[in-house]
Amino acid sequence: MRPLVIVTLALASVLLGTPVAHAQDWRVPKSATITVRGHGYGHGHGMSQYGAEGAARAGLDHREIAEFYYPGTRWGKARGRIEVLLTADTTDDLVVRKTSGLRVTDLGTGESLTLPDKSTTRWRTTVARDGRTLVSWLRGTRWRPWRKLAGHGAFSVSGGTVTLVSPAGERAYRGRLAALPPSAGSRDRVTVNSVGLEAYLRGVVPLEMPALWHPEAVRAQSIAARTYAAYERAHPRGSAFDVYDTTASQVYGGVAAEHPASDAAIRATRRRILRHGKGPAFTQFSSSNGGWTVAGAVPYQVAKADPYDGWSGNPNHDWAVTVDDRRIEGAWPALGNLRRIEVTARDGNGQWGGRVRSLRLVGSKRTVTVSGDTFRWTLGLKSTWFTFRVR
């Protein structure tokens, strides 16, 4: 059975990019198959990563790409260290693998001590009963105390890497590793990697964009990632750290993630960031914007057509997902039998009137109003820019 589709999309609203109310609705028969068609993958703010690749293929260099996606920003520089929360280490102690040149720094006094050549494979820091940091080494299956520190302890290797041993396995990091309290007075500990900003990017960029993409696209990604890190450092996510190592900030994999091609892009853009006002810009990015960037809360996040996102290699520019009506009824059981889907507001940009801001699900028992974001995440859609076909 073909759905009843009522289209009341005002052309002026599309052209002006203003929200569209009561844009579309679909009648859903008792047993229906619903195809959700959409554009883009992610929030659409700032740089489209597939768009950056398309722009590089079209001849734009990294500066032109950055300026297209973050209009109104200016160029600047950033340096120094960044504190990264390593979410895989869920224990209160900090265990590292023994390696040549391993040192522990007393963060209370600043004293750096070379660890002795014990017959061990691991060193660790824990909180002793008196609240001080205890450094121990493993002998067989038992931990042997070595020294107490005045402050927290940080492991490092000059010019080398430290291998963290956690419930998730082993992973090497540049810089130093420390177990720190997440808040003042807490006996709990979180593991934090204090690392230079450029070294941090080596573990970020190839996880956010394929390192072997066009060099100008990877350079643009390096600038966006460095700027994003500098912004979060200025607005830290916790008292003991600046950023997470997950998509809550940027994905960071330490040494194992590094790649020669992305290393080259990072060197080529060394210390360069985008600024706005008195600080680093908030350079959000996502996989694909589907052909339109999305306006945000800052002046350099504007809504405009993106001619670069739709190149032939972008699998996220157009997508489709098919579900039956029971999937939606199961997600919102208060509905009863789903009878109608009504899109009540869009952002006004692009095909179908743009991204969905709100919609109503009309059921036999109740009508439920949800945001486009809620509908997207509940059904696992790639973005909020979608429309329906009901059969």
Q: Is the pLDDT of residue 332 over 80?
A: yes
SS3 letters across the chain: CCCCEEECCCHHHHHHCCCEEEEEEEECCCCCEEEEEECCECCCCCEEHHHHHHHHHCCCCHHHHHHHHCCCCEEEECCCEEEEECCCCCCCCEEEECCCCEEEEECCCCCEEECCCCCCCEEEEEECCCCCEEEEEEECCEEEEEEEECCCEEEEECCCCEEEEECCEEEEECCEEEEECCCCCCCCCEEEEEEEHHHHHHCCHHHHCCCCCCHHHHHHHHHHHHHHHHHHHHCCCCCCCCEECCCCCCCCCHHHHCCHHHHHHHHHCCCEEEEECCEECCCCEECECCCECCCCCCCCCCCCECCCCCCCCCCCCCEEEEEEHHHHHHHCHHHCCEEEEEEEEECCCCHHHCCEEEEEEEECCCEEEEEHHHHHHHHCCCCCCEEEEEC
Give the pLDDT confidence of 290-328 residue by residue, as tens digits: 999 999 999 999 999 999 999 999 999 999 999 999 999
pLDDT at 284: 98
Paired tokens of 305 = 């057509």
Give the pLDDT confidence of 84-138 residue by residue, as tens digits: 999 999 999 999 999 999 999 999 999 999 999 999 999 999 999 998 999 999 9
183 alpha-carbon distance from chain centroid: 24
- The predicted model scores a pTM of 0.92
Q: Is the pLDDT of residue 162 over 50?
A: yes
Give the pLDDT confidence of 232-287 residue by residue, as tens digits: 999 999 999 999 999 999 999 999 999 999 999 999 999 999 999 999 999 999 99
Least Cα distance to 290 among 314, 274, 272 occurs for 314
Give residue 85's identity as a one-letter amino acid code: L
| The dihedral formed by the CA atoms of 72, 77, 83 and 84, expressed in degrees to the nearest 10 | 60
Give the Cα separation of 220 and 341 in Å (integer).
40
Q: What percent of the chain has pLDDT over 70?
A: 94
pLDDT at 184: 80
pLDDT at 313: 97
Q: Is the pLDDT of residue 21 over 50?
A: no
Q: Residue 12 CB: number of other CB atoms within 10 A? A: 9
Q: Residue 139 CB: number of other CB atoms within 10 A? A: 13
